[in-house]
Structure 1
């Protein structure tokens, strides 16, 4: 049994080998650094590789899958979309571990595998008879296909929703979000969806005009391109320097503070819901901030002016709360309701204001705009330009030029 290297089989073979090599590299790194996300991304690459190996072997002249192994499970099937979702979940939450609550995600895959192995174990002749008398007449293969599409869509929606909530969350927790935004995963979802839609198009085209095995090849080649993209970019994805522990909080859970007594005392967090409202927050200031938290806001603003913690590029909500001898559960509503900004915009506003003061100081005329921005707490040109444009509606250069006129 020899493999025929040709125009159709060779690209698929290279993609297949690429996927397994990088999966092994990810598993080695996962073991070394104890990183669950690398384990899962490795299995995502295995899933992508198994998606193309039927055509790879077929174009290479090896027909064992259609003879000795007919009806045996050949791919990760229904498990693949769940792996993509949990890969994202493990990236944004370093504390995530699989529990019994996640076990149901494997149920469709287990049912599918049990069904196929059960039929396969009855022997080749039984398999052929089952296909002609049950599988095809009752459209069980079509049903499997439809369920697979449904699972793809379901986990795509879950992944997009998790990613959107995470992007909103980091703005309330960190003053610098560039390195933890995971734009890579957004691009991964886009390319994965595009590849899935192209595969659907080729399937419908094959049904419409009757493409043969050799003509129905382009979606497999697209799968190879996806393997190269996910393996190279996924492995090179920079890991956050800080420990991320994002976990979506149910909407009905809200934070309240104990009655205020001393602005340097640590208040404890408590989540309650009583008839859709929060008990103990009926008395509010004109800004919407509970009156018992107004002294915390004043303490915060005084600290920001005097101590200038915003000069720390990696300042986070937890860091600032620790400096104020409180906790993030108290500080977050103080910032949100007391200033009308999320944490990211709140800190960046101080940095932008500091930049405005320094750039207009003749003593700093020898410094570049980026150099001044870095001195004011920004850690990159892209973050600086984006924050300045958002908070002032003009670019840094436009601001300077408007003052020179």
Structure 2
């Protein structure tokens, strides 16, 4: 009979590792504020991939004995992930919010624990002969380990939780800044990243405290169940990140119609059609006609509906419906944020922007901006008041 390496709990760890890879690929497809930002993406995803792999190697019911037998040198090799993940997440949030972010000397202090732990592992374990490593793994009992190890693990989780909370603080401060240039929907995945990491590290800290208490008191505590729960939470965390980031990537087509094309279009499209189409949208605001159809717009541009549909799909990367409603959403945002329309109802603004369905308007607005039109108006009002109060 073939050897069974993975059980159901191990499959959760494997799923988390897969989600880390997908998350990295999705994130790298989005426009990056800087090259340094890309480094933090890779660093965060690499660390997040290493954590479940390290757990699988050390605690997998079937996988751990197999690793001891076949790949003993890889044990403890991926422990760096737990020390690297939180600093990379913090730097990732900072570099996303601040396009001028520069890595300073003081920032290296956040990587010092990683360096110290890696150095200790190289000296205390990886430099040992294979025979001694095999002896350690075959006789090791968690209750016989030095209490110092558990105090270090607890300190590590406190460090990770502190950085997760620091990331949340950065996001809160940025959201309240009137000059913030990222839209709410562009911040949502960052909130999922920061708040999810905070939850995950809180459970990790609880488990570390229970482990320390168990070793000190010799009482049996539910550390195994907490550890399993932590693994499942981590899987849900990365599935949520991938889901949200994929949703944000799809929503980018709503922003494309507002970008004037200066160069040539993709092969096969006549740039003259774009030059005719965009003034109709930006200057004539033809999209404010709620009855506007593809045929109507094609007639105004002077092309066939099929040609116009091909231009919109190929050049802007979205459908006619998404193209028109992208402009309508932007117009609604402008009206909602202007003080001259402060007394205008949201329903009237909806009609003025070109929508004739409240459900469609609210649904698309929330999908694009991450909040309802009314919430958006309140947020913009708060920003304007904050900006006014900040003036000398």
User: What residue in structure 2 maps to residue 237 of structure 1?
Assistant: 248
C-alpha deviation, 1:228, in angstroms: 1.6
Alignment match of 1:164 (pick from 157, 172, 178): 172
Specify whether residues 230 and 383 from structure 1 end up closer, same or farther in structure 2 by C-alpha distance, changes over 3 A only: closer
C-alpha deviation, 1:121, in angstroms: 0.9
Scaled by the length of structure 1, the TM-score of the pair is: 0.54
User: What residue in structure 1 maps to residue 190 of structure 2?
Assistant: 185
Specify whether residues 40 and 232 from structure 1 end up closer, same or farther in structure 2 by C-alpha distance, changes over 3 A only: farther
CA contact (8 A) 1:88 1:185 kept: yes
1:10 matched to 2:11? The reply is yes
C-alpha deviation, 1:203, in angstroms: 5.1
Secondary structure of 1:94's match? Answer: coil
Distance across 2 between alignment mates of 1:380 and 1:31: 22
1:189-225 deviation per Cα after TM superposition (whole angstroms, max 9, x unaligned): 2222222233344555663535586995332222222
User: What residue in structure 2 maps to residue 59 of structure 1?
Assistant: 61
Alignment match of 2:374 (pick from 385, 390, 394): 385
Superposition CA RMSD, Å: 4.5
Distance across 1 between alignment mates of 2:365 and 2:193: 24
CA contact (8 A) 2:90 2:167 kept: yes
Q: Name the structure with the higher helix share.
A: 2
Alignment match of 1:218 (pick from 209, 212, 229): 229
Specify whether residues 349 and 201 from structure 1 end up closer, same or farther in structure 2 by C-alpha distance, changes over 3 A only: same
Map 1:205-354; keep pairs closer than 5 Å: 207=214, 208-210=219-221, 216-238=227-249, 348-353=338-343
Alignment match of 1:154 (pick from 142, 158, 162): 162
Distance across 1 between alignment mates of 2:225 and 2:188: 36
Larger Rg: 1
Alignment match of 1:114 (pick from 106, 111, 119): 119
1:125-150 deviation per Cα after TM superposition (whole angstroms, max 9, x unaligned): 55667998xx9665331232122122
User: What residue in structure 1 maps to residue 129 of structure 2?
Assistant: 123
1:7-29 deviation per Cα after TM superposition (whole angstroms, max 9, x unaligned): 232232233223224434544x3
Distance across 2 between alignment mates of 1:55 and 1:173: 39
Bigger mean CA offset, 151-160 vs 64-73: 64-73
User: What residue in structure 1 maps to residue 89 of structure 2?
Assistant: 84
C-alpha deviation, 1:314, in angstroms: 7.8
CA contact (8 A) 2:331 2:353 kept: no
Distance across 2 between alignment mates of 1:387 and 1:231: 25
CA contact (8 A) 1:178 1:383 kept: no
CA contact (8 A) 1:2 1:62 kept: no
CA contact (8 A) 1:3 1:62 kept: no
Specify whether residues 164 and 41 from structure 1 end up closer, same or farther in structure 2 by C-alpha distance, changes over 3 A only: same
Distance across 2 between alignment mates of 1:389 and 1:41: 33
Specify whether residues 8 and 179 from structure 1 end up closer, same or farther in structure 2 by C-alpha distance, changes over 3 A only: closer
Distance across 2 between alignment mates of 1:99 and 1:183: 27
C-alpha deviation, 1:159, in angstroms: 1.1
Distance across 2 between alignment mates of 1:232 and 1:42: 19
C-alpha deviation, 1:52, in angstroms: 1.6
Structure 2 stretches lacking a partner, 5+ long:
257-329, 356-363, 382-392
Secondary structure of 2:81's match? Answer: coil
User: What residue in structure 2 maps to residue 103 of structure 1?
Assistant: 108
Secondary structure of 2:63's match? Answer: coil
C-alpha deviation, 1:155, in angstroms: 0.9
Specify whether residues 106 and 122 from structure 1 end up closer, same or farther in structure 2 by C-alpha distance, changes over 3 A only: same
Scaled by the length of structure 2, the TM-score of the pair is: 0.56
1:150-197 deviation per Cα after TM superposition (whole angstroms, max 9, x unaligned): 21132123212211221121x2456x95445x1332233222222223
